[in-house]
Chains A and B, each alone.
Chain A
Amino acid sequence: MAFAAFGGGAPAKDNSTKRKGGPIVLALILPGLIYLGLFFMTPLVSLLVTALESPDPSGAIGAYFYDLNFGNFATVLTDYMPQILRSFGYAFAATVFALAISYPLAYFIGVKLRTSPLIQRLMLTLVIAPFFISFLLRTIAWKQLLSDDSGFVSLLHSLHILAPSQFFLGSDAAVIFGLTYNFIPFMTLPLFTNLERLDTRLLEAASDLYASPNKVFRKVTLPLSMPGIISGTLLTFIPIAGDYVNASRDFLGSSKTSMIGTMVEADFLQNWNYPSASALSVLLMGLILVMVTVYVRRSGTEDLL
């Protein structure tokens, strides 16, 4: 119906709008619209509908009927509060670590290596190189490297960082490590894109105006790289908050490290509690949306764009 109105309205308008809404433009937009309709809108609506279902009166496991049961949200909020807090806690910590590691790296590649483009490209390839191997395989590899009889854990034992009865795998630290490791490229690339364009003449001007190197960074470099920091943190924080691989006991986590994603997976695939899993998913989406909105508003980067 929308398409009919669009097509019908076009001939009445003047030349310029006719060209704007021509059949070629429509043909170019259509695949994208169909894709979004099929693979974004349909699952989203289905998820919302499922989130409001109630258990079948027969009591059969996995049987539900269509309802408007908003109580599902209250239930998952109370039942899964620890996992919700843990998810955002992990996501926050991993994002901060990824930023702390990626910023100097991106600065080095994007600014210091400008004079030697060949090494610059090589370094950039190294940043992307992990993508050539599935992240599941890489995370499994880390599981081996950090296993209870690994040299790393023996080292932690001999340094008395871990008690003899403690191990690394399954701890908060192991999961945060895995999340940080897996998402570093998503932080580094937007930062690099931004810092690559950093006008170093502005840094010279700032030091000419009595700013110490420390001040130059805080007053000029950092504010100018805010767009890169914002996109980098969003590209890491959002997927990390919903991640269910690293925290799973099959990888680096344990039952004490489960995140929202872990619970959604368990409810869908093991407990067959579809309304609970759906309500939790919708809740995660809503919380992230609110956080991102506040974050982007507060950082006030629109001036720089």
Chain B
Amino acid sequence: MATSNAFAGADLELIDIRKDFPGFTALDDMDLHIPAGQFFALLGPSGCGKTTTLRIVAGLETPTQGQVMLGGKDITAAKPHERPINTVFQSYALFPHMTVLDNVAFGLRQRKVADAQKLAVDALNLVELGHLADRRPQQLSGGQQQRVALARALVNRPSLLLLDEPLGALDLKLRRQMQIELKAIQLEVGLTFLHVTHDQEEAMDMADIVAVMNKGRIEQMGAPEVLYDRPKTVFVSKFLGQSNLFVGDIVEKNASSVSIEVGGNKITVDKKRAEKHTGKIAIGVRPEKADFHEKKPKLGADHIVIGPGEIIDIRFTGVSNQYLIDIPNVGEITVFAQNIGKSPEVALGAQVYVSWKVEHSYGLADLPSGIEEA
């Protein structure tokens, strides 16, 4: 039995995991490696298989095929209670018939750890709930219950801590505060965290590495900045932030870049920032990387300029304005402009040109759904 009290995180490896449920496949050829001590986020829409992945790691589901390795040991066949892994459940799953303190001490007592009581008190103090030790979980607020669930898992110093959308039920302000606390605790205790979420901001903000999942597969994995700057598929470019996408046949190609033609405009991407260099491809740019101008700007070859188009919507969101610009034969483009007094003041219906630097374009490996490869 894996009762050894692991004080350092262990690395997790999923090898070729597949999980079939009656009627559908939740996970398909899933490979994943999480280095020890990392804060790793699995990000995806509901139904993408991220919770199934978590449950397989916890031992609550058995994979149809594949292996789960923890710290180099195969734990695929180990029962949940034999794994040095703890979970903070989405529903918290606190035991209603025990006090808060007994909830936190539960795991320690099962492993017959000496000083279970004292360690549990310390863990409760860590999440600043020491004064509520004698209460019942149902007497606490949602945020407090969440912290009890976190303390109950952390107190065991597991090799791997699983977080199943634990912040989903909290309101925005409390969630923000818990994100900061959670990250601080992870840095402090140095455990490996696997965090499952559908909240892209939460994932990017907290995780060292983010894996974006879609339809039972990992679409792309990497540091949040890399993922955001250089999405490789249409799904990732749209799920992680917003994207303006342009689809067209390649009309020009040189040593360092490729260009497509869309509605009479030339859109260029660096070769090393493009997944595909032949045929019909999709090129994207983030809304905040694009600018718009009332007159056609005179910019060099390192810029892309398209237009003119009509501003059909302006949204004020506080720090920035979001402009929706309809360019004939190209489509609608979103541009974010920070409200720092540098953007031109324009009204609805104004004709503008849109520009961005070539180095901010990214070329995707696939095409948006509904567009046929020629």
Contacts and interface: CB of A to CB of B under 8 A. Distances in A.
Interface in B81-98: 81, 85-87, 89, 91, 93-97
B110 A210 contact: yes
A220 B93 contact: no
B253 interface: no
Nearest to B111: A210
Which of B86, B93, B96 has the largest count of A CB atoms less than 10 A from its CB? B93
Given A211-B81, A212-B81, A215-B110, A206 B89 contact: no
B152 interface: yes
Given A201-B89, A201-B91, A215-B110, A208 B80 contact: yes
A204 B97 contact: no
Contacts of B136: 303
A210 B159 CA distance: 13
A292 interface: no
A interface, size bucket = 20 to 34
A234 interface: no
Contacts of B60: 204, 207-208
B97 A209 contact: no
Interface string B53-78: 00000111000000000000000000
Contacts of A208: 58-60, 80-81, 85-87
B292 interface: no
Contacts of A201: 89, 91, 93
Contacts of A210: 3, 81, 107, 110-111, 156
A210 to B, nearest CB: 4
Contacts, number: 65
B97 A206 contact: no
B20 to A, nearest CB: 16
Contact of A202 (B59, B95, B152): B95
A207 B136 CA distance: 21
A209 B86 contact: yes
A206 B86 contact: no
B95 A220 contact: yes
Contacts of A164: none
Contacts of A2: none
Interface residues on chain B, size class:
20 to 34
Interface string A194-237: 00000101101111111111011001100110000000000000
A1 interface: no
A205 B156 contact: no
A206 B87 contact: no
Contacts of B95: 202, 205-206, 220
Contacts of A202: 93, 95-96
B97 A303 contact: yes
Given A208-B60, A212-B81, A199 B93 contact: yes
A12 interface: no
Contacts of A207: 59-60, 79-81
A25 interface: no
B211 to A, nearest CB: 22
Given A207-B80, A208-B58, A304 B97 contact: yes
Contacts of B153: 209
A224 B138 CA distance: 14
Interface string B120-144: 0000000000000000100000000
A208 B107 CA distance: 8
Contacts of B94: 205
A227 to B, nearest CB: 10
Most buried by B among A208, A211, A224: A208
A39 B326 CA distance: 84
Contact of A209 (B3, B91, B156): B156
Given A207-B80, A208-B81, A209-B86, A223 B97 contact: yes
A220 B107 CA distance: 13
24 contacts: A201-B89, A201-B91, A202-B93, A204-B60, A205-B93, A206-B95, A207-B59, A207-B80, A208-B59, A208-B60, A208-B81, A208-B85, A208-B87, A209-B81, A209-B86, A209-B110, A210-B3, A210-B81, A210-B110, A210-B156, A211-B110, A215-B110, A220-B97, A304-B96
Given A201-B93, A204-B89, A208-B85, 17 more contacts: A202-B93, A202-B95, A202-B96, A204-B93, A205-B95, A206-B95, A206-B106, A208-B59, A209-B152, A210-B111, A210-B156, A211-B81, A211-B106, A213-B81, A215-B81, A220-B97, A224-B96
Interface of A: 199, 201-202, 204-213, 215-216, 219-220, 223-224, 303-304
For the complex of A and B, the 7 pairs showing the least CB-CB separation, nearest first, are: A205-B93, A209-B107, A210-B110, A207-B80, A201-B93, A223-B97, A210-B81
